[in-house]
């Protein structure tokens, strides 16, 4: 509820520090939608947190607005992964991978990985196989593994080789090579020393938007399923009601037929009654549906607010 010009207290441990609010912004930073965020000048924040001359996180904003900037996320993330690596550590990893014993194992496993991806398309139908490969990243890994030996053959460390070593799936694949104990130890140690800083991709706007789309799809599918089941149940109920009406009014229908009423007239009579029942039920159902929808929205909104509040309390603690 703070407004521009108000004085607020920020607690660093048990000590309150008073600041004057300059402006209010909406959803500042990746966690701004869930948690309260305070924006300060860098030097003031470093003094407040007793981190003089230190920075623990850097947020990168792409060119464009809140939607058009998303198209640059993959390229920017790839570039940041390359910049995060220590050049000396990259040289050590490349030197280990160029050892004759390591290259022999690497070339053999690269061929096996490519063949394994090719065999995976021969089992299930192509559509299912494609979904499995995309979900597991098999196609991308196969292309990267296929390129790796050729890049290692070059005399220098190329930008393409740095890009390959920046990929986590390539690092995991290299760690899984069945190397000699000493080579495996050296490679594992060199890979763990590659990054000078970590790239927190789960906090990127693209990841958050993708998660929101998945969540929205799940909610939409659940409510659509409930609606479909309700429609099927209503159709079955209407059918049973008409069957019961026809059974209870069998004698009345027989008398009507005896005095000359045609079958089409009997059907029209039942249709007219059904229309009246349907209109009355629709009016009641619309009112009840709106009431239930309002209650569900309030419940789900309160649930999200409670979760966000608990996250905020845990973060502040």
Q: What is the pLDDT of residues 34-81, one digit of tens each?
A: 566 778 888 888 888 888 888 887 777 788 776 777 778 778 877 888
**CA 241 to CA 166: how far, in whole Å?**
67
Res. 140: pLDDT tops 60: yes
Cα 155 to Cα 92: distance, rounded to the nearest angstrom:
14
Q: What integer pLDDT is reported at residue 310 of this predicted model?
A: 57
Assign 3-state DSSP to the chain and report helix, strand, coil percentages, each to 5. 70, 5, 25
Q: Which residue has the higher pLDDT, 13 or 122?
A: 13
Look at residue 163 and tell me whether its pLDDT is greater than 80: yes
The pLDDT assigned to 185 comes to 92
At 267 the pLDDT is 81
Mean pLDDT of the chain: 78
Domain boundaries, the chain: 7-56, 85-196, 203-316
- Find the mean pLDDT for residues 76-96: 87
Q: Averaged over 196-212, what is the pLDDT?
A: 69
Cα distances (Å, whole numbers) of residue 9 to 16, 28, 114, 207, 309: 6, 19, 59, 33, 19
118 band by pLDDT with thresholds 50, 70 and 90: low
Q: Is the pLDDT confidence value at 133 over 70?
A: no
Task: Specify the pLDDT at position 293.
Answer: 82
Share of the chain above pLDDT 70, in %: 81
> Which stretch of 57-71, 116-130, 177-191 has the lowest confidence by average pLDDT?
116-130
| pLDDT interval class at 182 (50, 70, 90) | very high
- Over residues 244-254, the mean pLDDT reads 79
Closest CA to 170 of 101, 94, 100: 94
Query: Is the pTM higher than 0.95?
Result: no
């Amino acid at each position: 509820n703070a407004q521009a010009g108000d004085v607020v207290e920020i607690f660093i441990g048990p000590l309150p520090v008073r600041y004057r609010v300059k402006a209010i912004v909406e959803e500042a930073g990746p966690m701004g939608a869930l948690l309260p965020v305070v924006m300060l000048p860098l030097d003031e924040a470093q003094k407040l947190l007793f981190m003089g001359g230190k920075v623990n996180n850097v947020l990168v904003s792409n060119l464009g607005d809140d939607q058009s900037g998303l198209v640059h996320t993959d390229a920017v993330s790839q570039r940041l992964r390359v910049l995060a690596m220590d050049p000396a550590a990259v040289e050590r990893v490349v030197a280990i991978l160029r050892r004759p014993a390591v290259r022999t194992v690497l070339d053999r496993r690269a061929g096996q990985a490519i063949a394994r991806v090719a065999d995976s398309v021969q089992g299930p139908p192509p559509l299912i196989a494609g979904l499995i490969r995309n979900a597991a990243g098999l196609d991308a890994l196969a292309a990267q593994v296929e390129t790796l030996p050729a890049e290692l053959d070059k005399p220098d460390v190329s930008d393409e080789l740095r890009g390959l070593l920046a990929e986590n799936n390539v690092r995991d694949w290299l760690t899984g090579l069945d190397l000699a104990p000493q080579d495996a130890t050296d490679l594992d140690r060199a890979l763990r020393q590659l990054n000078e800083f970590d790239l927190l991709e789960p906090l990127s706007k693209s990841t958050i938007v993708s998660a929101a789309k998945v969540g929205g799809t799940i909610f939409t599918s659940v409510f659509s399923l409930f609606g479909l089941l309700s429609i099927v149940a209503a159709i079955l109920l209407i059918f049973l009601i008409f069957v019961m009406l026809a059974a209870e009014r069998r004698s009345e229908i027989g008398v009507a037929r005896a005095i000359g009423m045609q079958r089409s007239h009997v059907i029209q009579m039942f249709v007219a009654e059904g229309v009246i029942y349907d209109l009355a039920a629709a009016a009641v159902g619309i009112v009840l549906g709106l009431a239930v929808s309002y209650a569900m929205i309030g419940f789900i909104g309160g649930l999200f607010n409670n979760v966000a509040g608990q996250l905020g309390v845990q973060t502040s603690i």
